Chain A
């Protein structure tokens, strides 16, 4: 039982009750085996995506028709595609693209969504209603459909892909952040901070944002997984980067025609997408477990 200590005449500095828990985050995260595996995988992808292209000896886009559709070998680990290009090299080069699309689209959706969510939750009232109705409307387009509609209008390119997937991610962030903001806003210490004369902006940045950070971090991680899946789907439909960009979804789309003779054209890029998405899903799950206040006890 926590004892109240009503000492008359002393104003105690309002204590932010949740920030404390970040100290334990690292410890808990390390204990979660799945999260460690996911985190390491992400690290490997990051490193491979950044320095990998400089290490590969072959040109990802150079056609060599003489060696087309070869299966995996010592020389071509993942085989060659219909133009004789080395699939492994293309996958390494595509990693950067996948990461770019994943990170930037989620960053875009995250920034807009977090902003809308905080504004909605903090100010409430009509503004809240309007923002949340708009989110409802965006959520009324099921699954890939919203991103599909956007990219179909803007036309296929990497930038447009990022925009489409970004917009598609906005409602998820807005909703979650709004919910967390509402629950933080109800805490007594926010009232105390307000009573001490803090401005809205200060309260939002110094007190609300740090407190809603955990769901945002979890959502960022899990959303990268969804974003990469969505983007690869759009690329597969030919609505992403134009050929010969070694985007994984686009590689799948190209390889599809040769599936009968050379299934490895489809197998490897797909496996890479699975591994990439899996890494973020595992890591996100682990983060959520580590950050979940219910688990703190």
Chain B
């Protein structure tokens, strides 16, 4: 097991390097001169040249990359063009907002997805299964930003709500649950649909296995057969999806944060793209991707731990 963990850890290194090279080269793909961009259109050629010198843009790209990398390792992601503040500080202020949002969305997706998937599998080919699967298909096919806008329309702006229902808020992020619910639902719904479909498929496959027949042959009741013997096996493949979903939410937060005016990394990225503040774009993309790689690593290891007991053939 330790061997597996070490091997898996080593495997992530080339991925992280690859990600950083890609993010680094974003700068070169931008049409125009990075130094000019940082200095601003009106800057004099001398200023531009100074910046170029300062950032080492005259040096060959591999050398620049190494410098970029060593800076990253030291926690230096460069400075924002707009505010002049270190990118790392800008991200630090927003990092936890996005992680929190994605985390809650994951919990919601897992909770709803599992229940829906299990119900669907247990009652398969009945109307409840068909209904759940149709709803899941819609959940999968909905652009989450549109769903978010609709939620805002219904629960935060709309006047048709019954009186007992508190008005939700559609701005910012904080301790108020009325503020938190809509973005979490917006972000988590698609994932819930995926997890529901996955759980159902996994359950149906497990229910056809020989060991389920063995459990029945022992005289176990349906409840025990489904919730003890089948579910435990069916959940193992679902775990991998949960990790992927969390990552997907980190990416999807870009849209959710935009429509709910949440000051997270996603919104920071979009604002930076609009103002062409590329050091910030690089920084957020890099951080989110690293986080995603790290989460996948954890998922892989836990999957392996759970799967240890399972036949490899």
Binding site for B on A (CB under 8 A): 133-134, 136-137, 140-145, 148-149, 152-155, 225, 229, 232-233, 236-239, 249, 252, 256, 259-260, 263, 266-267, 270, 273-274, 277-278, 281-282, 285
Interface residues of B in 127-177 (CB under 8 A from A): 137-138, 140-143, 145-146, 149-150, 152-153, 157
Bound complex: CA A36 to CA B150 (Å): 29
Residues of B at the A interface (CB closer than 8 Å) are 14-16, 18-19, 22-23, 26, 29-31, 137-138, 140-143, 145-146, 149-150, 152-153, 157, 247-252, 254-255, 258-259, 269-270, 273-274, 281, 285, 288-289, 292-293
Closest to B259 in A: A256
Instruction: Kindly identify which residue among B30, B142, B152, B251 contacts A145, using a CB–CB cutoff of 8 Å.
Output: B251
Residues of chain B lying within 8 A (CB to CB) of residue A143: 247-252
15 contacts between A and B (CB under 8 A): A141-B288, A142-B247, A142-B248, A142-B249, A143-B248, A145-B251, A145-B254, A225-B141, A229-B141, A233-B145, A267-B150, A277-B143, A281-B137, A281-B140, A282-B137
Identify whether the interface residues of A are mostly helix, strand, loop, or mixed.
helix
Residues of B contacting A: mostly: helix
Decide if A136 touches B288 in the complex (CB within 8 Å): no
Flag if A274 contacts B143 (CB, 8 Å): yes
Count A-B pairs with CB separation below 8 Å. 123
In the complex, the answer to whether B288 meets A152 with C-beta atoms within 8 Å is: no
Q: How far is the CB of B38 from chain A (nearest CB, A)?
A: 16
What CA separation (Å) do A274 and B149 show in the bound complex? 14
A297 to chain B, nearest CB (A): 12
Contact check, A273 vs B143: say whether CB atoms are below 8 A apart.
yes
Give the distance in Å from the alpha carbon of A112 to the alpha carbon of B257 in the complex: 33
Question: B19, B137, B149, B251: which contacts A266 (Cβ < 8 A)?
Answer: B149
- Contact between chains at B19 and A148 (CB < 8 Å): no
Name the residue of chain B whose CB is nearest to the CB of A294: B205
Name the distance in Å between B193's Cβ and chain A's nearest Cβ: 10
Q: How far is the CB of B35 from chain A (nearest CB, A)?
A: 17
Taking CB as reference atom, which chain A residue is nearest B272? Answer: A152
Cβ B292 vs Cβ A141 within 8 A: yes
How far is it, in angstroms, between the C-alpha of A233 and the C-alpha of B270 when the chains are bound? 12
Give CA–CA (A189, B219) in the complex, Å.
46
CB distance from A101 to the nearest CB of B (A): 13
Taken together as a complex, chains A and B put the C-alpha atoms of A154 and B19 apart, in Å, by 18
Query: Does A141 contact B251, Cβ atoms closer than 8 Å?
Result: yes
Partner of B29, one of A144, A154, A238, A285: A154
Min distance, Cβ B106 to any Cβ of chain A, angstroms? 12
Question: Chain A nearest CB: distance from B72 CB in Å?
Answer: 15
The answer to whether A145 and B149 have CB atoms under 8 Å apart is no
- Besides A141-B285, A277-B141, 6 other A-B contacts (C-beta < 8 A): A137-B18, A137-B19, A140-B18, A143-B249, A273-B143, A274-B138
Q: Which residues of A contact B15 (CB under 8 A)?
A: 133, 136-137, 140
Q: Bound complex: CA of A148 vs CA of B145, how far in Å?
A: 15
